[in-house]
Amino acid sequence: MIPYSTQNIDEDDIQAVERVLRSNYLTCGPRVSEFEECLCSYTDADYAVAVSNATAALHLCMMALDVGPQDEVWVSAISFVASANCARYCGATVRFIDVDPHTGNLDHVKLGQMLKDAEQNHKPLPKAVVAVHLSGRPCELRYLQNLKERYGFYLIEDASHALGATYENTLIGKCKFSDVAVFSFHPVKIITTAEGGACLTDNEELAAKIRLLHAHGITHDPAQMENPDMPGFYYEQLMLGYNYRMSEMQAALGISQMNRLDSFLQKRRELARSYVDILDHNLVKLPVADIPGFESSWHLYQIQVEHRNEIYQTLRDKGVGAQIHYIPIYRHPYYQQQKYPEALPGAEYFYEHTLTIPLHTKITRVEQSMVATIIAAALDKFEDK
């Protein structure tokens, strides 16, 4: 099976992890801070906290922003469920924002209407909005920032797919338009630490709170303690936190992968351009192309076709690991039980027509051509009917 995505591990990565295994620290050592510095220097963010996965990172953002049962959090309807679950962990009510039917990114105009409607009808406004940069294509951040300022919500970028993506020549993670951005380093993502994630922000206070919460809410810093004059062994738990730490092996792999990030991005962008050359534009709607300053990280290559389910099945039957990203979150039984009856038209259209086809740093041009040929032949059959 040609996977839709996969990790790229080389000898340097293996040696980096092996060195940690032979060292004194498997956790709570120097590698995690070094990885955090790599993330900051690459994205130009002021602060990074590396954690066990992006789901944990999203949960930490919610906790650090004091999201609770009294709050609403508004979330892009098309995403992995973790983008919404983080708000439910804190007891908040989730409302879903419809998406652009072509990109799957949240529809900022519809969000503006929802906010206006809530304000006019004295309904709750969101405490936070989770904007997902689907497939690595950034949302309209400048527009979202204007709404954030107008209606006073926190803007969380779920940038799980978008390491290396740019918006107005600024790398995602810099948080120029938002409060915090979350990344995932799961093996299918742009770089991997096996499991892993990070919160990036320019807000010192928020970063400190996320850092405290990711390790049980415990501080070893006398300046933060109620009893600062205790002996060296002493520590205090200031809040109810979790163990969401990243290990040293994960961080070492992350540092090594960061050295290769530019080559990964270059390769993904080349492969995306090569699909433009080989897919049949009459039958397949292609994803939005990059323009200078607004570049996707091309985590996913998502096309739109009629007869999506049949094309999906044909590809799978012929050994191509096509995928669907994603089922609208409100369709899941868990969210239906939370009373989300309304289907959102943009999300429904996106779900019905969109197909992820393989794009990763190890796919060959020959394999890409094979994928394009299978799709063309399958669509031709429908044309003939």
CB of 192 to ligand PLP, least distance (A): 10
Q: How far, in Å, are 261, 306, 358, 360, 383 from residue 380 at the CA level?
A: 38, 11, 21, 27, 5
- At 219, phi and psi to the nearest 5? -115, 145
Query: For residues 82 and 212, which CB has a smaller minimum distance to ligand PLP in the complex?
Result: 82
Query: For residues 17 and 60, which CB has a smaller minimum distance to ligand PLP in the complex?
Result: 60
Query: For residues 79 and 219, which CB has a smaller minimum distance to ligand PLP in the complex?
Result: 79
- At 140, phi and psi to the nearest 5? -75, 80
196, burial (CB in 10 Å: exposed 0-12, middle 13-18, buried 19+): buried
Q: Does 79 bind ligand PLP (CB under 6 A)?
A: yes
Query: For residues 82 and 378, which CB has a smaller minimum distance to ligand PLP in the complex?
Result: 82
What CA dihedral angle connects 255, 260, 261 and 264, to 10 degrees? -150
Query: For residues 75 and 284, which CB has a smaller minimum distance to ligand PLP in the complex?
Result: 75
55, 193, 250, 304: which one contacts ligand PLP (CB under 6 A)? 55
Q: Does 83 bind ligand PLP (CB under 6 A)?
A: yes
Q: Does 184 bind ligand PLP (CB under 6 A)?
A: yes
Q: What DSSP letter does each residue of 306-338 carry, written as one string?
A: TTHHHHHHHHHHTTB--B-----GGGSHHHHHT
Query: For residues 195 and 378, which CB has a smaller minimum distance to ligand PLP in the complex?
Result: 195
CA 27/CA 37 separation, integer angstroms = 17
Q: Does 7 bind ligand PLP (CB under 6 A)?
A: no
Rama region for 263: left / alpha / beta (φ>0; ψ in -120 to 50; rest): alpha
CB of 229 to ligand PLP, least distance (A): 40
Q: Does 209 bind ligand PLP (CB under 6 A)?
A: no
Q: How far, in Å, are 70, 98, 144, 206, 287 from residue 211 at the CA level?
A: 24, 32, 26, 9, 37
Q: Does 250 bind ligand PLP (CB under 6 A)?
A: no
- Tell me which residue of 94, 87, 96 sits closest to 59, measured CA to CA: 87
CB of 128 to ligand PLP, least distance (A): 15
Which residues from 24-53 bind ligand PLP, rule CB under 6 A?
A: 53
- Tell me which residue of 278, 305, 302 sits closest to 289, measured CA to CA: 302
Structure tokens at 332: 């899941």
Q: Does 178 bind ligand PLP (CB under 6 A)?
A: no
CB of 80 to ligand PLP, least distance (A): 4
CB of 106 to ligand PLP, least distance (A): 12
Query: For residues 55 and 304, which CB has a smaller minimum distance to ligand PLP in the complex?
Result: 55
Q: Does 296 bind ligand PLP (CB under 6 A)?
A: no
Beta bridge partners, 50, equal 198
| Number of amino acids touching ligand PLP (CB under 6 A) | 14
Interacting residue ranges for ligand PLP, rule: CB under 6 A: 53-55, 79-80, 82-83, 132, 158, 160-161, 184, 186, 197
